[in-house]
Structure formats: structure tokens, C-alpha cells
Structure 1
Amino acid sequence: MPLITLNRIERRRLTVFFSCLIVAFATWMLIALSGNYKYRVNSRINYIDPPETRAYHPLQEDSVSLQIEGSGWQLLFSRLRLQPRVINVSLSALSSRSYIVFSNQLNDLNKQFESNQRVIAVNPDTLFFDFSKRSVKKVPIQLIKDISFVPTYGISGPIKLIPDHVIVNGAAVDLKKFKFWPTAVFKRFDVKDTILAKVGFMKSKSDNMDIFPLSVKVEIPIERFTEKIVEVPIKVLNAEGYNVHVLPEKVSITILTALSRYASVNQDSFEVSINLNDSREQGYSQLPLKIKHIPGYSKLVKVDPQVVDFFIKK
């Protein structure tokens, strides 16, 4: 296919033509975007000013469609918004009735927008609510944690939460579902020192529930752990009337324990046994060791041996 060859004058005319076309399009866009338009925006509702003596339950979705009058620029940016904006809606009217009307709150809604934007209607215009008696309950706090440690370090004692409970105020029927109140996920990485921090709480799925306080103090003792080997005698369970000998008579237990607890860990810190009933029922010639107790905040590394021989003297 032959190429079209343009001389210098024709190239200049073509350049001028496209330049004028671009300028005309830009001018048209500026004029179009400067005008006022009516458009709709989906918004999520954040309820404020709830009634003090009534627990409310919305009977519809927590989103509405706003009809807004604004400039073309605002219309353009509203279409580019990835998430719906949030509007605050007052529930003060629920103290005397079971519904709220948006047309009565347009002035308050418009204060949440730019001065050259105006909310002219909301769909739906009326929101309805169901009510139940409000109640107060004391709920234990559960720490949700995601902690990693520097090698050989770990939690060396009980975690302290101050306070250890929250006061929850909400619908009585909802409060029955809560056995504890979780914190927000508490994250720390490469930890080797005791943690002192504040952590907030996971937000309730219901806007109709309040908690106090809004945060809790967390104290997590962290120490270096070291290995310790303890010889522990083996107990024989269900050996009434029998003279039972176990070989070996002691088991070697290897654990990791905090340095501050190292001296206090001894054979009395463990309970190791075999159950003679296992031999009678299963016909075992050897019996596995059962460890029922190890020191708190210690990590079991190894048990040697894991099974033992035994014989019964009549």
C-alpha cells in the first residue's frame, strides 16, 4: 500500500487542524463540567445520637441513594469514587417514634458536603426501626494476638489485661450472644522484651451497641528460654494388689523454660505415669508414658524413652 506523502505546507495545516480540534474539545469539556447537574450517589449510613433508653434494630440495609445537585466536576469525581461515602444520620427522633425521615434532615446532611453540592432527595426517604429493651453486661476481654519472637524467646507468664472486662450496653437479646469481647488483632514481630501496650477492640457488627472502655492495657512478659533436662520417676496407675517393676524407673524429660523459672523446675513439676489397665485390655508387653502435667509456660522438647518395659511380681 503506497504511503501518503505530505509536503511542508500540508503537514502544517494538519498540525493546526488537530491543535484546533484538541483546543475545541478541551473548551467544550470545561464548559460542560462547569454546569450544574443532578446525579445519584450511593452512601453508607453511620448512625449517631442513638436513643438512651431504647435499643434499635434497622429494618433495612445500611445504605441509601442520594440525589445530589452539583457541578460536572463533582459528578465526574463521584463516578471515580471506589467506595461509597459515609453520611451521618441522627437517630434522636427515635426517642418518640419508630422511624426517621430524611427530608427532615436535609440541612444536616448538606453540612456534610461541599458548599456547592446540595442533597435534594434520599431514596428511601424513610427508615424504619424495631426496638427492644437496652441492657448492660460485664463481658471478659479476649486478647487476639499475632506475635512472633526472636529465636529462644517466648511468653514466660500470664498475660495481664487492665481492665480484664468491658461494660457492654445494647439490646438484651444481643448481649446474650457474647461470652467475651475480642480486641483488635495485636501484632508484634521479632519480640524479645516484655510488651506494654494499649489495644482497642474489634468493632461490633451492630451500631446499636456501645462498650466502655474503648481500649485495654496489655502486659505480656517475655523472656529468653533455655533447655533443661529433668529425671522424673514413673508412677504406675491401677496396680492395686500387684508388685509392678518398671524399666527404666525414671524418664528423661527435656523442656524449654524461662530463665526466671529454671531453678524452680524439678521432678515435682511433672506427672508421668503408665496405666496397667492398658496392658490388661490390650495385651501390651510395653506401655506408653503419659505426661499429665508439665510446668506452665514451658515447651516440651523430648521424652526419653516414650515407652517402658514392666513386669509384675506375684
Structure 2
Amino acid sequence: MALITLNRIERRRMTVFLSCLITAVLIWLVIALSGRYKYTVDTKINYTDPPESKAFHPLQDDSVSLEIEGTGWQLLFSRLRLNPQSVNVSLRSLNSRNYIVFSGQLNDLNSQFESSQRVISVSPDTLFFDFSKRTVKKVPVKLEYNLTFKKNYGISGPPKLNPSYVTVNGAAEDLRKITYWPTTILNLQNVSTDLSVKVGFAPAKANNIDIYPQSVKAEIPIDRFTEKIIEVPLKVLNGKGRDVKLLPEKVKITILAALSNYPLLDRDSLVATVDLAGWSEKGYTQLPVVLSKIPKFCTLVKTEPQVVDFFIRK
């Protein structure tokens, strides 16, 4: 295939032609995208001004489609340009009826958007609700945390929460499913001292549920951990009156314990067992050691030995 060779003048003409073409396309694109267009965007609903004496249940999804008039640039980047990403919808009219109509709230909706964007219509235009009497329930608070510690440090005791219970207000049907209320996740790194922090609560999954108070004070004891070796006598399970001799009769348990708890730990803090059912039912010739009790906030490092020999006296 023959190649077309251009001289210097022809190359210059070609460059000028391409530059003009690109400039014309860019000008046309700017003019076209500067025009006004209509486009549809799906968005989530945040309900505001709920009725005080009744709990509401939306009978449709918590999202709607907005028909918006905006520039071509906004149409091109509609998923990114929609601001805000959700809309607030007033429920004041539910005090006298069981539905709301968006066409009566267009001015309120438009006040939430950029001035260059205008909501023309909403689909569906009417949202319907079911009602039930509001009830109150107290549930325990669950602290959610994701902590990393400096070397040899960790949580040395149960966190203390104030308050330890939260008051939940909403429909009885929704409250029946709630057994606790989680906090937002407390994320901290390189922790080495006691923590005393205020943590907010995770948002409600339903729009018609309120919680009080809005935050909880969490106190988490942090301490340095060190190893401690404790010799523990073995207990025989399922011996059924047999005279069992274990070799050895004690095991050494190595645990990581907080320095503040170190003096409190002794052999009564741990329980190590062997199960003779392993011999009678499965034919084991050695019995594995199981640590059935260990203090909270202690970590097992190792058990020596992990299996023991035995014989049964007749």
C-alpha cells in the first residue's frame, strides 16, 4: 500500500485544517452543552416534620425519580452534578391525611438545589403511608469499635457506657425487631492509654424511628500486657466412676494478661479438662487438653502439654 507523502506547505495546510476542525467542534460542544435540557435522576428521600402522635410506614420505596431542567453540562454529569444527593420531604400534611403530593412541594424541593437546576416533576407524584401508634422502648447500647494498639497493649476490661441504654421511639412493629442499638464505629490507631470518648449512634434504618440521647460516653480501659505461666490441675470429664491416672496431672498455661490484672490471676482463674469419652467412644490413646475457662480480656498463648497420657486403674 502506497504512503501519501506531503511536502512542507501541504503539512502546514493540513495542520491548520485540523486545528480549525477541532476548534469548531469544541465551540459547537460548548454551545450545545450550554443549552437547557430535561433529564431524570433517581434520588433518596429524607423525611422531615413527622407527625408527633403517630408512627408512619411508607408504602413505597424511599427513592423517587426527579425530572430536572438544567444545562447540558449537568445532563452530561447528572450523577455527579446532582446536589444534594438526597432530598428532604416534609410530612406536615400527614397530620390530616395519609399521603403527600410532591407537586405541592416543588418550591421547597427547588430551594434545596443549585440555582441552575430546577425540579419540574417527581415520579411518583404521590406517596402513601400507613400509620400506627408511636411507642417507646429502652434497649442496651452496643459499642462498635475497631482499635489497633501499640505493641503489648490491649483492652484490659469491659468498656463502660454512659448511658448504657438508649430510648427508642417509633412504631411498635419496628421496635419489636430492635434488641440493641449500635454506636458508630470508633476507629483509633496506636492506642496505649485509657480512652474516654463521646460516640454517636448508628442512624436508624427506618425514617420514623427516633433515639435519645444522640451520643454516648465510652470509657475503655487500656493496659500493657505481659505473659504469665500458671500451672493448672487437669479435670477428667465423663470418667463415670473410673479411677483415671493422668500423666502429667497438671499442665502449664501461658496467657497474656494486663499488668493491672496480673496479681489477681491464679490457677483458680483457669480450668483445663480432658474428656475420657475420647477413649471410650473413639479409641484415643492420648487425651487432648481443652482450656474450658479463661478470664476475659486474657489471651491464650500456649498449653504444655497439649495431650496427656492416661491409664485406668482396675
Range class of TM-score, shorter chain: 0.7 to 0.9
Matched-pair contact (CA < 8 Å) for 2:244–2:310 = no
CA shift, 1:80, in A, is 5.5
1:292-303 equivalence runs, <5 A: 292-303=292-303
For 2:236 and 2:118, how far apart are their aligned partners in 1? 83
What is the SS of the residue equivalent to 2:217?
strand
Matched-pair contact (CA < 8 Å) for 2:285–2:309 = no
CA shift, 1:106, in A, is 0.8
For 1:304 and 1:157, how far apart are their aligned partners in 2? 27
For 1:285 and 1:4, how far apart are their aligned partners in 2? 90
For 1:130 and 1:245, how far apart are their aligned partners in 2? 70
Indicate the residue corresponding to 2:189 in structure 1: 189
Bigger Cα displacement from structure 2, 248-257 vs 81-90: 81-90
1:111-153 deviations in whole A, cap 9, x for unaligned? 1122233222111111111112211111111122333333432
Q: 1:28 to 1:275 in 2, by over 3 A?
A: closer
Matched-pair contact (CA < 8 Å) for 1:42–1:84 = no
CA shift, 1:30, in A, is 3.2
Bigger Cα displacement from structure 2, 189-198 vs 251-260: 189-198
Bigger Cα displacement from structure 2, 261-270 vs 117-126: 261-270
What is the SS of the residue equivalent to 1:263?
helix
Indicate the residue corresponding to 1:256 in structure 2: 256
Indicate the residue corresponding to 2:308 in structure 1: 307
Matched-pair contact (CA < 8 Å) for 1:289–1:308 = no
CA shift, 1:2, in A, is 3.2
1:85-96 equivalence runs, <5 A: 85-96=85-96
CA shift, 1:29, in A, is 2.8
1:1-314 equivalence runs, <5 A: 1-78=1-78, 81=81, 85-234=85-234, 248-272=248-272, 291-305=291-305, 306-307=307-308, 309=310, 312=313
1:151-186 deviations in whole A, cap 9, x for unaligned? 432221111122112111111111111111122233
Matched-pair contact (CA < 8 Å) for 1:59–1:129 = yes
What is the SS of the residue equivalent to 2:264?
coil
For 1:39 and 1:233, how far apart are their aligned partners in 2? 76
Q: 1:5 to 1:289 in 2, by over 3 A?
A: closer
What is the SS of the residue equivalent to 2:115?
coil
For 1:69 and 1:160, how far apart are their aligned partners in 2? 53
CA shift, 1:14, in A, is 3.3
Matched-pair contact (CA < 8 Å) for 1:256–1:301 = yes
1:51-73 deviations in whole A, cap 9, x for unaligned? 11111111112222222223333
Identical residues among aligned pairs (%): 61
Matched-pair contact (CA < 8 Å) for 1:244–1:310 = yes
Bigger Cα displacement from structure 2, 295-304 vs 201-210: 295-304
For 1:187 and 1:105, how far apart are their aligned partners in 2? 40
RMSD between aligned alpha carbons? 3.2
1:217-236 deviations in whole A, cap 9, x for unaligned? 22221222222222334456
Matched-pair contact (CA < 8 Å) for 2:242–2:312 = no
For 1:23 and 1:267, how far apart are their aligned partners in 2? 85
One-letter code aligned to 1:138: K
Unaligned runs of 5+ in 2: none
